[in-house]
Amino acid sequence: MVNLKINGKSVSVPEGSTVLEAAKAANIEIPTLCFLNGVNCAGSCRMCVVEATGARGLVAACVYPVSEGMEVRTNTPKCRQSRKMTLELLLSTHKKKCLTCPRNMTCELQRLALEYGADADKFATAAPDTPLDTSSPFLIRDNDKCINCRRCVAACKNLQGVEAIGPIGRGYAVHIGGAFERPTIETNCVGCGQCIVACPVGALVEKSGTDAVWKAMSDPEKKVVFFTAPSIRATLSEEFGLPVGTNVEGKMVAAIRRLGDVEVFNMDVTADLTILEEASELVDRVKNNKPLPMFTSCCPGWIKYIEHNYPEMLPNLSTCKSPQQMFGALLKTYYCEKNGIEPENLFVVSVIPCTAKKFEVERPELKKDVDVALTTRELARMIRTAGIKFADLEDEDYDDPFRIATGGGAIFGATGGVMEAALRTAAHMLDGKFEVLDFKEVRGTNPIKEAKYKVAGITVKVAVASGLANAKAIMEDIKAGRKNYTFVEIMACPGGCINGGGQPNVPDSVRNWTDLKTLRAKALYNYDKKLEYRASHDSPTVKMLYDEYFDQPNSHKAHEVLHTEYTPREKY
């Protein structure tokens, strides 16, 4: 341990700690912009400068190591003046359209400028006017709002291993973009949105679908239905000031109903349906020596990643559509037939944690079964626009016939959740007496998890990875023959959907020091424990769907509606 003083307060921290970490231990907040814990630590923005004994001038707290007996001052006139100057220089080239920016009131630059009394026009320059990159269906890049903190670049490289973006040019002209100035849609971007949640300002935002939803709800010819992904119940709370990990399922359903004349369904139903189809496919592959390992296919960011980088492994992907697309297909077929609705008059809205789902909606092979995919952030904006007092709402339940689902569907939102739900059902299919429901070896937010289970005399080796950089490590091990798995779950976002690119923008003071992934996942596992049905094959809703429409898992009808194919893509 190293002993030092920060603003006169004694603190002991492990050797190798930075001044920023020591300040946190002393409950002292130092402002940051380029720093993102576990993602980016460059000391380049100079917002976290402090005075420290033994140092020449101001030093960046996020990279400066502590030493025995050091004395640090974080709030001297020199520190405050330097930070204010930094903010004024950043604002000199920043597009100051704050009132209409999606990040208004959640922007780190805006917050700090207010706190330090920065003069936005002190170093006035000509208004920037760089064209927006709107080429993709999921993201808008506005480089006139970019502050060159490089957090998006670090997220794309370090967390995801995709490296679709990077700095272009030098000096004053440097900006962020795709190689050779390619627009986003022409890069190997997988649409995960981790760059969006990393961005401290409004330079990167999702392409919004809210206008289309408002329009559909006002069209008397359209019947509008919503369905919500498993993780939304555990994250929407943060948009309305509730503690991280608060389950607000009942309030969420009530709020959506108050947006307009809509029905609200539970996407956990098609998560359960995915498990029945996927587990059946896995058992068939194991028994009949078909390509193994089988990879999960519910994450569209992972699907696009493997299409770009490992097209030779596409036969190993489960052919199951994602729960989002299964629900869209189910609504445009079974639901429309049962209720005498023309599919073109049914407007389907998914609420999802992920910007890659917006790309998935546009995939031609999926036939536009989902009309609009809204992120958690977009739903929250709609609720606020409608003047709904979210925290005051009484809980309401989903609408029938897609109301009841299982814990297996609910835990889809956390890394390892798809694997655990599939194991609950696949083990039951292989051995009807196998009733274990908790596969704790695949739980938790470790980037890579491995386990081995013996069921009906068959050894099943599984692996779970979240974050595409970790997915790459697993894929390379499989290709080289170093690993031999039966079943592999991949989620593009670190921690899974609960940390997706469409989840709430969290202040740096929280994101840098709070284990969001664990707290959000805990809400899902607690929800799973309390449910009457925990294994997907026990779902009465799924049983009804097979009895009335699909006959059995992997039937001809099920393949027509619930399965898909994949597209090899250029590797840039």
pLDDT in the model for residue 151: 98
The tokens of 191 are what? 């649409």
281 part of the active site: yes
pLDDT tens, residue by residue, 344-379: 999 999 999 999 999 999 999 998 999 999 999 999
Place of tokens 């001297």: 76
280 part of the active site: no
Cα 512 to Cα 234, 239, 356, 506, 527: the distances in Å are 19, 18, 24, 9, 26
The tokens of 149 are what? 């903190």
Q: What is the mean pLDDT of residues 418-426?
A: 94
497 part of the active site: yes
Burial letters for 277-291: b for 16+ Cβ neighbours within 10 Å, e otherwise?
bbbbbbbebbeeeee
pLDDT in the model for residue 570: 85
Fold observed for domain 89-206: Alpha-Beta Plaits (3.30.70)
Place of tokens 């329009």: 215
pLDDT of residue 435 exceeding 80: no
365 part of the active site: yes
pLDDT in the model for residue 65: 96
Which residues in 309-369 belong to E strands, given as ranges?
A: 346-352
Q: What is the mean pLDDT of the chain?
A: 96
Q: What is the mean pLDDT of residues 296-307?
A: 97
Please pick, among 95, 251, 357, 517, the residue that the annotation labels catalytic.
357
The count of other CB atoms within 10 Å of the CB of residue 120 is 15
Give the whole-angstrom CA distance, residue 256 versus residue 529.
26
- Kindly report the pTM of this predicted structure: 0.95
pLDDT tens, residue by residue, 115-146: 999 999 999 888 778 999 999 999 999 999 99
570 part of the active site: no
pLDDT in the model for residue 432: 82
End-to-end Cα, the chain, rounded Å: 47
Taking CA 355 as the corner, what is the angle to CA 150 and CA 387, rounded to the nearest 5 degrees? Answer: 105
Architecture of the CATH domain 210-269+325-392: 3-Layer(aba) Sandwich (3.40)
pLDDT in the model for residue 424: 94
All structural domains of the chain with their residue ranges: 2-75, 89-206, 210-269+325-392
Please pick, among 206, 239, 278, 307, the residue that the annotation labels catalytic.
278
3-state secondary structure of 3: strand
Q: What is the mean pLDDT of residues 2-10?
A: 96
Helix, strand, coil percent content, the chain, rounded in steps of 5: 40, 15, 45
Whether the bond between 323 and the residue before it is cis, its omega within 30 degrees of 0, is no
Q: How confident is the model at residue 430 (pLDDT cuts 50, 70, 90)?
A: confident
Extract long-range pairs of 307-310: CB within 8 Å, 24+ residues apart: 307/566, 307/567, 307/568, 307/569, 308/188, 308/190, 308/569, 308/570, 308/571, 308/572, 309/188, 309/472, 309/475, 309/571, 310/475, 310/479
Please pick, among 281, 378, 420, 489, the residue that the annotation labels catalytic.
281
149 part of the active site: no
pLDDT in the model for residue 457: 86
493 part of the active site: no
pLDDT tens, residue by residue, 173-182: 899 999 999 9
pLDDT tens, residue by residue, 24-67: 999 999 999 999 999 999 999 999 999 999 898 999 999 999 99
21 part of the active site: no
Q: How confident is the model at residue 433 (pLDDT cuts 50, 70, 90)?
A: confident
Residue among 244, 203, 296 at smallest CA distance from 503:
244
Residue among 192, 449, 196, 412 at smallest CA distance from 305:
192
Please pick, among 277, 497, 536, 539, the residue that the annotation labels catalytic.
497
Give the type of residue at 394. Answer: E
DSSP assignment string, 358-423? HHHHT-GGGTT-SSEEEEHHHHHHHHHHTT--GGGPPP-PPPTTS----HHHHGGGSTTHHHHHHH
pLDDT in the model for residue 383: 98
Instruction: CATH number for 2-75: choose from 3.40.1280.10, 3.40.50.920, 3.40.640.10, 3.10.20.740.
Output: 3.10.20.740
pLDDT of residue 572 exceeding 80: no
DSSP single-letter state for residue 568:
-
Please pick, among 360, 378, 420, 489, the residue that the annotation labels catalytic.
360
pLDDT tens, residue by residue, 84-127: 999 999 999 999 999 999 999 999 999 999 999 999 999 988 87
pLDDT tens, residue by residue, 459-514: 999 999 999 999 999 999 999 999 999 999 999 999 999 999 999 999 999 999 99
Please pick, among 146, 298, 354, 493, the residue that the annotation labels catalytic.
298
3-state secondary structure of 458: strand
Q: What are phi and psi of 36, to 5 degrees?
A: -140, 110
HEC string of 162-223 equals: CCCCEEECCHHHCEEECHHHCCHHHCCCCCCCHHHHHCCCCCEEECCCHHHHHHHHCCCCCE
Please pick, among 71, 312, 365, 560, the residue that the annotation labels catalytic.
365
Q: How confident is the model at residue 79 (pLDDT cuts 50, 70, 90)?
A: very high
pLDDT tens, residue by residue, 529-553: 999 999 999 999 999 999 999 999 9
89-206 shares the fold of 2-75: no
Residue among 144, 40, 51 at smallest CA distance from 90:
144
Q: Residue 372's Cα: distance from chain center in Å?
A: 17
